[in-house]
Amino acid sequence: MPKIKWAVASRRRRKRLIKQAKGYYGARKSHIKRVKETVMRAKAYSTRDRHVKKREFRSLWIIRLNAAARSRGLTYGRLINAFKVANIALNRKQLAELAINDEAAFNQLVETAVANGK
């Protein structure tokens, strides 16, 4: 029975790793041991950051809404509470987009919310 050799499979595995390390600097793109470490770490960061991205965007929308609310004499908390009391079911992303791109519509929503909130 002939001896089984793994050269082809090993080369293919290493080439796949090196392909994933494209654009990395120095030994991180060519030395297989460093490539393995770097690619594994990069995958861990990308998994973590998919969740972090959602948090950061929500934070950005809140900051934008707070600025828009304060320019209208409210605070962010009072604005969100007014929307809840007035049963205006727009999420923070939609509200932030309105505040930036369509001020007239946002002003109308704020007036409605404040009027119904009292």
Question: Domain residues for 102?
Answer: 7-117
Reported confidence tier of residue 3, pLDDT bands at 50, 70, 90: confident
pLDDT score of 46 more than 90 = yes
Reported confidence tier of residue 39, pLDDT bands at 50, 70, 90: very high
Residue 73 maps to a domain: yes
pLDDT score of 1 more than 80 = no
Q: In whole angstroms, give the CA distance from residue 51 to residue 28.
A: 26
User: What does the mean pLDDT of the chain come to?
Assistant: 92
Quote the number of domains for the chain: 1
**Tens of pLDDT, residues 81-117:** 999 999 888 899 999 999 999 999 999 999 998 888 6
The 3-state secondary structure of the chain reads CCCCCCHHHHHHHHHHHHHHCCCCCHHHHCCHHHHHHHHHHHHHHHHHHHHHHHHHHHHHHHHHHHHHHHCCCCCHHHHHHHHHHCCCCCCHHHHHHHHHHCHHHHHHHHHHHHHHHC
Residue 46 maps to a domain: yes
